[in-house]
């Protein structure tokens, strides 16, 4: 018999705040974390906007001796993971036996950029001795393991913008199968390096003005950064220690488009949603809320809407849908973690986040996207979508406990 999975801890850092309380307050009130990018030479970037973490001083969170080994993406992962564990009230013994699965789309890009600048621009002939352990894609997972004392299965999942949702799915599967009772899971990314921004500019999917998911005048995505982490437990383990339970992770669905590297497929997304509902043993007509992938690009928003019509049929018109990327930006591998937290808190507080900057429905976007203002609504069942470049899709079903 499969163990039921519940959510007992939340942790985040993003453009909307340095913790989950600040994040949720901003989400509920429709505040934007998107602003003019700081830290780059004037005129160096065409991409002027981003959702950067503000007021972040690494020395506030980490000992000076530890910082040389911590890329910015690992710092974010640690801050969010620590908060989730404290929020869950886990003790050292429980953590020793736990798992940690950390998603990232980019890995240690800050370290890469520093290294290439050092070698090619400054013409130095040696790299820093910590370059590999600091910047490797699994560095954040290793740091979370070491600093929290997690000695169970620990690994990294990388599937671009679906990384966090894939990581959460893997953690849940380990709990359901009895491999572990507790897991820390989510995603982290810090993409604001000059080289990576120039690469995103070249893709021509970046907005020059703002992030307007599903809107008639949407012009592209806006990058963000941060981390979103959750503590998952078997229901029996959580009840045994009298933990506060936010919600139940009822099921996960995953699929691949097996099509185009950047052009999304409605059928591929629909397969992931359908698989998640089947896994959760939930009828599509029982879904109240969809936390959409909702990037603000022409192709994504139209395709995601089509996928919702394919799965939910006439019930699609009754769905309440929002894209919180309109506020925290597209944080790539971290987005699914941040959106998972927003979905959990929407269920707990009976408040559906808005899609801000909405000016009217775009062509092919004909559903209820909760424009501009949050909505009080009791949510019993929700799904959270992540659809990545490469056609890699992951969907979570979260229900009221």
Distance CA 223, CA 293 (A): 13
β-strands 182-189, 99-103 pairing: parallel
3-state secondary structure of 160: helix
Distance CA 227, CA 208 (A): 24
Determine contact, residues 308/401, Cβ cutoff 8 Å. Answer: no
Catalytic residue among 166, 293, 309, 328: 293
Catalytic residue among 106, 161, 211, 365: 161
Residue 309 falls in the annotated catalytic set: no
Determine contact, residues 395/365, Cβ cutoff 8 Å. Answer: no
CB neighbours of 55 closer than 8 A, spacing ≥ 6?
18
CB neighbours of 242 closer than 8 A, spacing ≥ 6?
none
Catalytic residue among 309, 328, 330, 365: 330
Any idea what the Cα angle at residue 17 is, between residues 361 and 140, rounded to 5°?
A: 105
CB neighbours of 158 closer than 8 A, spacing ≥ 6?
103, 104, 105, 107, 137, 333
Catalytic residue ranges: 161, 293, 330
């Amino acid at each position: 018999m499969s163990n039921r999975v519940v959510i007992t801890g939340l942790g985040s850092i993003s453009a909307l705040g340095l913790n989950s309380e600040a994040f949720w307050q901003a989400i509920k009130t429709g505040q934007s974390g998107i602003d003019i990018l700081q830290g780059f030479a004037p005129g160096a970037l065409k991409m002027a906007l981003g959702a950067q973490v503000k007021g972040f001083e690494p020395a506030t969170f980490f000992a000076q001796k530890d910082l040389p080994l911590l890329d910015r993406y690992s710092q974010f992962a640690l801050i969010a993971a620590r908060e989730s564990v404290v929020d869950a009230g886990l003790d050292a013994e429980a953590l020793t036996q736990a798992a940690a699965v950390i998603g990232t789309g980019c890995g240690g890009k800050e370290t890469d950029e520093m290294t290439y600048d050092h070698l090619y621009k400054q013409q130095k002939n040696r790299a820093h001795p910590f370059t590999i352990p600091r910047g490797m894609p699994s560095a954040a997972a290793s740091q979370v393991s070491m600093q929290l004392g997690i000695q169970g299965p620990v690994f990294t999942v990388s599937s671009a913008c679906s990384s966090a949702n894939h990581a959460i799915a893997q953690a849940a599967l380990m709990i359901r199968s009895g491999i572990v009772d507790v897991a820390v899971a989510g995603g982290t990314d810090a993409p604001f390096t000059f080289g990576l921004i120039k690469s995103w500019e070249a893709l021509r999917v970046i907005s020059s003005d703002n992030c307007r998911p599903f809107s008639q005048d949407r012009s592209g995505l806006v990058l963000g950064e941060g981390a979103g982490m959750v503590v998952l437990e078997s229901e029996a383990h959580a009840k045994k220690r009298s933990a506060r339970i936010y919600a139940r992770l009822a099921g996960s669905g995953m699929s691949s488009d097996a099509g185009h590297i950047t052009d999304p497929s409605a059928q591929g997304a629909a397969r992931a949603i359908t698989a998640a509902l089947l896994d959760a043993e939930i009828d599509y007509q029982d879904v109240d809320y969809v936390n959409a992938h909702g990037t603000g690009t022409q192709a994504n928003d139209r395709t995601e809407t089509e996928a919702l019509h394919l799965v939910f049929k006439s019930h699609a018109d009754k769905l309440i849908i929002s894209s919180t990327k309109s506020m925290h930006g597209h944080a790539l591998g971290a987005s699914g973690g941040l959106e998972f937290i927003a979905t959990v808190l929407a269920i707990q507080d009976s408040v559906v986040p808005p899609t801000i900057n909405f000016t009217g429905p775009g062509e092919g976007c004909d559903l209820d996207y909760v424009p501009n203002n949050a909505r009080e609504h009791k949510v019993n069942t929700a799904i959270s979508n992540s659809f990545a470049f490469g056609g890699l899709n992951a969907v979570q079903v979260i229900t009221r406990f």
